[in-house]
């Protein structure tokens, strides 16, 4: 396979060979775990065994946190300009290795190579933004709040921070986390998704090459025990999580109960609202790409289409577009949809489609039993699927399917569409397609969803803004990246100083001091 060849000739070879074990990264060294418990990682396109991920032992996890704790004072005291220079080197290395990282992602996660490059690129943008860390960490000053008294604030790192990542963006989401955290002067413990560990391992290898000192980034592996360890270890000050609602709410509850700062980006059901005055061709193109791209395994996938009035007549043309999408291995040129992550995920998607049908939805495009090339016969493939006549009480609407399944609902008015979407528990993203500025403005004001696209399907903000999912899709102390990302990884110290140039004593006062 193309990607196998790429990997074997790349530096990744130093971290992982095929069907060898994924290493831990502790204090600047890739080390073999002493665990007896391993998780197999298989290529979702053909079930080839790629690597085994260790369930880190308690000692290994403690060693990773200790390394991060020990590295913190020197890293915090490294000048902000030098930290930024290292992040800038890192940015260049990621750019240079974009194809290799993408090949790793395609092989392990399944998405197409161009989509995998997008995964890396959207993470790289956060690294680029982190190069401006000095400006992002500027405090505030007010001179002479009283005679000879000034107040100023510094933005300072927290200490050891940790990240727990999902399978669907093996590069972007780790890159949302540790580059900004370390740019701010923190040290880090990353626990990648046990289903896609290798992009993270390569990314930390590149960070080391960029000049990140030993101990500043560490990687542990595992699932529930590693997560519990992160939630409980007293040295960890803040936890970034991206993944399912079940895990995110759990980590938020357990982490905050232990006094940690936690940010949890979670599950979604993202609605597209299609008004009949929208540009039909562009809207249907956008909807097709955003519903089925990455086989629907994006937290910002448009997985529910709300057709307002006559726009429902466009559904047959949507089906025609979806039918043309090519389902194959992600490394095969011109593939539109790769496999879903696991046989269990495929089974779950099939079950949810069937439940929709059993509850009265019409399956007008059925991607179960999709035909793929013989070499992918064992892969976890699901073809584009469209369910119409879906109502909000159906399981296929209520659950995040996380597969290439678009559920279509009909309403008569924009007000009804807004009401329907606001009644859904999730608030990650939404998009409205219309030619009316007034309708778009009404939508952006009244919709209770954190990220809104207007004639744009996947409104993931660039890193000078933040990723602002809301309601059931987010819980925590601050959003990822942008200003709020910096706030999450830092604390403010405010200093009130009194420098007098006379020798006059002001005497003892027992009153609450009042400046002025
Ligand atoms: P997941 O919750 O299964 O796994 C995410 C991480 O949590 C992994 O590192 C895993 O080891 C850990 N984990 C899993 N179950 C756990 C549990 N019960 N207790 C403690 N830790 C647990 O998520 P996933 O399947 O890897 O990713 C897909 C989910 O992530 C989808 O719901 C998707 O919407 C969501 N997601 C959200 C965003 C966002 O920004 N809102 C972005 C990407 C993915």
What is the whole-number distance in angstroms between the Cα of residue 435 and the centre of ligand 1? 36
Confidence grade of residue 513 (pLDDT, cut at 50, 70, 90): confident
What are the tens digits of pLDDT across the range 483-507? 999 999 999 999 999 999 888 887 8
The three-state DSSP-derived secondary structure of 203-215 is HHHHHHHHCCCCC
Topology match between the domains 24-267+470-494 and 270-425+429-454: no
- Which residue did the predictor score with more confidence, 147 or 92? 92
Q: 270-425+429-454, what's its fold? A: Aldehyde Dehydrogenase; Chain A, domain 2 (3.40.309)
- Which residue did the predictor score with more confidence, 12 or 52? 52
Torsion over CA of 253, 259, 261 and 263, rounded to 10 degrees? -10
What is the whole-number distance in angstroms between the Cα of residue 93 and the centre of ligand 1? 28
- What is the C-alpha R_g of the chain? 25
Mean pLDDT of 276-293: 98
Say if residues 156 and 493 touch (Cβ distance below 8 Å): yes
Say if residue 292's pLDDT is above 80.
Answer: yes
Instruction: Kindly report the pTM of this predicted structure.
Output: 0.95
Mean pLDDT of 447-476: 97
Nearest CA to ligand 1 atom 15: 247
Q: With a cut of 0.85, is the ipTM above it? A: yes
Q: What is the pLDDT of residue 16?
A: 46
Which atom of ligand 1 lies at the shortest distance from residue 251's CA? 20
- Regarding the beta carbon of 244 and ligand 1, being less than 6 Å apart is answered yes
Say if residue 242's pLDDT is above 90.
Answer: yes
Say if residue 221's pLDDT is above 60.
Answer: yes
Pocket test for ligand 1, best of 39, 244, 293, 471 (most atoms within 8 A of CB): 244
- 19 backbone φψ class: left, alpha, beta (φ>0; ψ -120 to 50): left
Pocket test for ligand 1, best of 164, 165, 247, 475 (most atoms within 8 A of CB): 247
* Euclidean distance between CA atoms 368 and 142, whole angstroms: 64
What is the whole-number distance in angstroms between the Cα of residue 80 and the centre of ligand 1? 33
Mean pLDDT of 101-111: 98
Say if residue 364's pLDDT is above 60.
Answer: yes
What residues does each domain of the chain span?
A: 24-267+470-494, 270-425+429-454
Q: What is the pLDDT of residue 239?
A: 98
* Euclidean distance between CA atoms 268 and 111, whole angstroms: 19
Q: What is the pLDDT of residue 152?
A: 98
- Regarding the beta carbon of 223 and ligand 1, being less than 6 Å apart is answered yes
Q: Judge: domain 24-267+470-494, CATH 3.40.605.10.
A: yes
Nearest CA to ligand 1 atom 30: 243
Active site residues: 299
What are the tens digits of pLDDT across the range 145-175? 998 999 999 999 999 999 999 999 999 999 9
What are the tens digits of pLDDT across the range 209-219? 999 999 999 99
Confidence grade of residue 91 (pLDDT, cut at 50, 70, 90): very high
Per-chain mean pLDDT for the chain: 95
What are the tens digits of pLDDT across the range 9-50? 333 434 444 468 999 999 999 999 999 999 999 999 999 999
* Euclidean distance between CA atoms 229 and 231, whole angstroms: 5
Mean pLDDT of 274-300: 98
Neighbouring C-alpha atoms within 13 Å toward the C-beta of 370: 31
Q: What is the pLDDT of residue 20?
A: 86
What are the tens digits of pLDDT across the range 306-321? 999 999 999 999 999 9
Mean pLDDT of 72-90: 98
């Amino acid at each position: 396979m193309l990607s196998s060849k790429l990997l074997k000739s790349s530096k990744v070879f130093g971290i992982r060979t095929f069907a060898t074990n994924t290493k831990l990264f502790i204090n600047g060294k890739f080390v073999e775990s002493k665990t007896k418990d391993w998780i197999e990682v298989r290529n979702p396109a053909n079930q080839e065994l790629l690597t085994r991920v260790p369930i880190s032992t308690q000692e290994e996890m403690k060693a990773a946190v200790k390394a991060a704790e020990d590295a913190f004072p020197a890293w915090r005291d490294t000048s902000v300009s030098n930290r930024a220079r290292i992040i800038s080197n890192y940015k260049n290395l990621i750019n240079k290795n974009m194809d290799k990282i993408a090949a790793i992602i395609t092989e392990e996660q399944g998405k197409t190579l161009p989509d995998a490059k997008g995964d890396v690129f959207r993470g790289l943008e956060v690294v680029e933004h982190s190069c401006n860390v000095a400006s992002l960490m500027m405090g505030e000053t007010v001179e002479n709040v009283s005679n000879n008294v000034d107040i100023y604030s510094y933005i300072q790192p927290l200490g050891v921070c940790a990240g727990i990542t999902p399978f669907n963006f093996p590069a972007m989401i780790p890159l949302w986390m540790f580059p900004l955290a370390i740019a701010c002067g923190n040290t880090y413990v990353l626990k990648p998704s046990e289903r896609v560990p290798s992009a993270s391992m390569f990314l930390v290898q590149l960070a080391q090459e960029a000049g990140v000192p030993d101990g500043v980034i560490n990687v542990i592996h595992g699932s529930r025990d590693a997560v519990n360890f992160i939630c409980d270890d007293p040295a960890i000050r803040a936890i970034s999580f991206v993944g399912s609602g079940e895990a995110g709410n759990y980590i938020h509850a357990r982490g905050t109960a232990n006094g940690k700062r936690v940010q949890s980006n979670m599950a979604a059901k993202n609605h597209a609202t299609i008004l009949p005055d929208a540009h039909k061709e562009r809207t249907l193109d956008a909807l097709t790409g955003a519903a089925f791209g990455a086989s629907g395994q994006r937290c910002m996938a448009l997985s529910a289409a709300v057709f307002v009035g006559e726009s429902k007549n466009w559904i047959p043309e949507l089906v025609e577009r979806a039918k043309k999408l090519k389902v194959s291995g992600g490394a095969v040129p011109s593939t539109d949809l790769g496999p879903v992550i696991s046989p269990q995920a495929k089974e779950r998607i099939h079950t949810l489609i069937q439940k929709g049908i059993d509850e009265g939805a019409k399956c007008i495009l059925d991607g179960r039993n999709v035909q793929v090339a013989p070499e992918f016969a064992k892969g976890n493939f699901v073809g584009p699927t469209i369910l119409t006549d879906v109502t909000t009480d159906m399981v296929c609407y209520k659950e995040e399917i996380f597969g290439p399944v678009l559920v279509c609902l009909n309403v008569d008015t924009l007000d009804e569409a807004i009401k329907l979407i606001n009644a859904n528990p999730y608030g990650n993203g939404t998009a409205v397609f219309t030619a009316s500025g007034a309708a778009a403005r009404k939508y952006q004001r009244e919709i209770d969803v954190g990220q809104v696209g207007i004639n744009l399907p996947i409104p993931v903000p660039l890193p000078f803004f933040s990723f602002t999912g809301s309601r059931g899709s987010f819980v925590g102390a601050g959003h990822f990246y942008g200003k709020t990302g910096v706030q999450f990884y830092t604390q403010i110290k405010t200093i009130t100083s009194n420098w007098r140039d006379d020798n006059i004593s002001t005497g003892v006062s027992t009153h609450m001091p009042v400046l002025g």
